[in-house]
Amino acid sequence: MFTLDLSLGDRSYPIYIGQELLDRSDLFERHITSQQVMVITNETIAPLYLDRLVTKLGKFDVTSVVLSDGEEFKTLDTVSLIFDELLRNRFSRNCTLIALGGGVIGDIVGFAAACYQRGVAFIQVPTTLLAQVDSSVGGKTGVNHPRGKNMIGAFYQPKCVISDTNVFETLDDRQFSAGLAEVIKYGLIRDDEFFEWLEVNIVALMQREPSALAYAIQRSCLNKAEVVAEDELESGIRAILNLGHTFGHAIESGVGYGKILHGEAVAIGTCQAADLSCRLGLLKTTEMQRIETIFEQASLPTMPPYEMETKQYLDLMAVDKKNIDGKIHLILLTKLGSAKLPCSVALNQLEATLNEYGRN
Amino acid sequence: MFTLDLSLGDRSYPIYIGQELLDRSDLFERHITSQQVMVITNETIAPLYLDRLVTKLGKFDVTSVVLSDGEEFKTLDTVSLIFDELLRNRFSRNCTLIALGGGVIGDIVGFAAACYQRGVAFIQVPTTLLAQVDSSVGGKTGVNHPRGKNMIGAFYQPKCVISDTNVFETLDDRQFSAGLAEVIKYGLIRDDEFFEWLEVNIVALMQREPSALAYAIQRSCLNKAEVVAEDELESGIRAILNLGHTFGHAIESGVGYGKILHGEAVAIGTCQAADLSCRLGLLKTTEMQRIETIFEQASLPTMPPYEMETKQYLDLMAVDKKNIDGKIHLILLTKLGSAKLPCSVALNQLEATLNEYGRN
């Protein structure tokens, strides 16, 4: 087991990464200080891991909640449903929630934990590659609004993250590739050595070779933990983790939540950000090509599923969280392994990129 | 103008108390760092103060939202409506929300600010006595759930509190008395000198004599600020501010949100807590009588509006935020000016109090 500590003063917590961690009662018991425990998962994960986890929590009074699966259920209504269950079962403020699932479950449950009785303890048990390398780490929680992704939420840290790498045995190829989009992102924004390692090892990763996979997860979490420790509430550097996300969120909203995976949208959005970086003379065309190549090798899309109109992109991007007084701000790349803080760009340059990937 | 600083590290903020502060553009400008500002109020307050405030915010792009008035609208649906308005108007994460109203408006807007884009700036402009002496100070935000009051929320501090004491000119008697319940509470839980001052000055306060009122507001805010600075997230001493609130919240839920004012329910609940404290031998009967007398002088109820069943009380109290693993914990008085941290009590003693105030 590899343990990584996320340093956030009195909100610090460990991230455990390793094999068969779902069976490690001791890890759960170390971080649960209540009798009341609610495990929240979805209908896809429940048949695979719910009973196994609940059995290991024999010391506690466990209630389980199984939600529908999919980004389209990442709404305030679903959070409200969790509140109903918590109150129906008279859960006290000292209770613990466990998020067993991918990024959608982690975001929903984290937000429910942040708001129930003004904050209760929660534990992240991510079951997808994307959740293990990105969304379970760093305390971003929240839900979508029809007008914008992740528009409602909280910064709220878990008590720990327990990442069992054996869960990949049941992860489908599309979900696995989606996770690689965020892995590749860390290389692009701040770790050129890791990006080069990924170029060499992408085939091994796609074959889910255990040692390559373990290394990629650990190095991704390390990158994420360093950035979050420096800027928990995203008042500065943390924004670079959003490379490709402004475009990506617009695509997710535009095509409809649940019709494209978050990681897929991020891959496309990263290509768009790279394209714009090239247009602005920040990035070389050869570097842009290396980005497209590695996404293709990871079976990720580099073009949107259909041609969204430039106007629709601009409308959707107008509510991004990095915007200032309503003006679009984007993360751009200056080379492989280095990103700029959010900046506004000339509208005609942005439109040129959007026209390239859609239609005007 | 009296300025009180609430010390909370990088979340510290000033509480301004004085006459005609609604016209002090300089105070607002000092704390608004964005161009986009949303003033959120209700249909009762809007005709009185909304235009006046908006006129003073001429430097900013101001959008106003007018909500229905009443505790029954303190719901997740109302918060969702605020999100709709923010997104429809493309409000960015650097925007500022202003809560213009009583405790309900402050709680709703504070929670919306806590969750919109994972947290935006907000300013409290309390327009009732209760909001000025209690709910606007300390960062407790949130909404009700049908099964329990304030069950969904966040600890989220404003940038400042601007308390214009001239608003009492338009405050009706019932709302004014409700505010006095929380004023009296500060005397009871930690400030015996203030309680004795209140016993002497209650008639002047009921006549809204300006200097008595100014003193009562300042001393109440001082008490609140000291407790909150010591224990922002209510892991200990802050819970004493909940004297009478476990009973009170049960009454509010039981008779129906909006049918009794929060301060009225707190007055009744404080009598119930005092009754229980007497039964447990902690408080003298003469002290209990002084509590009832001052509430009566403040035109506050000391008995519930109708006889709730003991079982209903217990059901509603079972979801209080001070409970631990589902067990009821209450704040009790040991004398006038001193309260105990939340403790569990023998069920037969609690039932004896509930039977006294309701029916079994």
Residue B257: pLDDT band (50, 70, 90) is confident
Amino acid at B227: V
* Nearest-5° Cα angle at B213, B211 to B219: 100
Threshold 0.90, pTM exceeds: yes
B63 phi and psi, to 5 degrees?
-115, 140
pLDDT at residue B258 is higher than 90: no
Q: How far apart are the first and last CA of chain A?
A: 51
Residue B358: pLDDT band (50, 70, 90) is confident
Question: What pLDDT does A305 receive?
Answer: 85
pLDDT beneath 50: ranges in chain A? none
**Catalytic (active site) residue A145:** no
Instruction: Give the percent of chain B with pLDDT over 70.
Output: 100
CB A42 within 8 A of CB A74: no
Reported as type and span, the H/E element at residue B38 is strand B36-42
Q: What does the DSSP assignment read for B297-323?
A: HTT--SS-SS--BHHHHHHHHTT-TT-
Q: Which residue, B265, B202, B245, is CA-closest to B339?
A: B245
CA B85 to chain A, closest CA, distance in angstroms equals 11
**Average pLDDT score over residue span B8-20:** 96
CB contact under 8 A, A233 and B140: no
| CB-CB neighbors (< 8 A) of A234 in chain B | 118
CB contact under 8 A, B92 and A324: yes
Question: What pLDDT does B35 receive?
Answer: 96
Residue A229 CA to residue A225 CA, distance in Å, equals 6
pLDDT at residue B83 is higher than 80: yes
Pairing assessment for the beta strands B121-126 and B338-339 based on DSSP bridges:
unpaired
Cross-strand bridge partners of residue A155:
A140
CB A112 within 8 A of CB A97: yes
Cross-strand bridge partners of residue B38:
B63, B97
pLDDT in tens, B43-79: 999 999 999 999 999 999 999 999 999 999 999 999 9
Cα dihedral angle (A98, A104, A107, A112), rounded to 10 degrees?
-60
Question: What pLDDT does A235 receive?
Answer: 92
Question: What pLDDT does B266 receive?
Answer: 97
Reported as type and span, the H/E element at residue B271 is helix B262-279
**Average pLDDT score over residue span B130-152:** 95
Residue of chain B minimizing CA distance to A234: B118
Domains of chain B by range and CATH?
A: 2-170 (3.40.50.1970), 173-357 (1.20.1090.10)
pLDDT in tens, B168-198: 989 999 999 999 999 999 999 999 999 999 9
CB contact under 8 A, A322 and B115: no
pLDDT at residue B360 is higher than 80: no
Question: What pLDDT does B348 receive?
Answer: 95
Question: What pLDDT does B271 receive?
Answer: 98
Residue A28 CA to residue A22 CA, distance in Å, equals 9
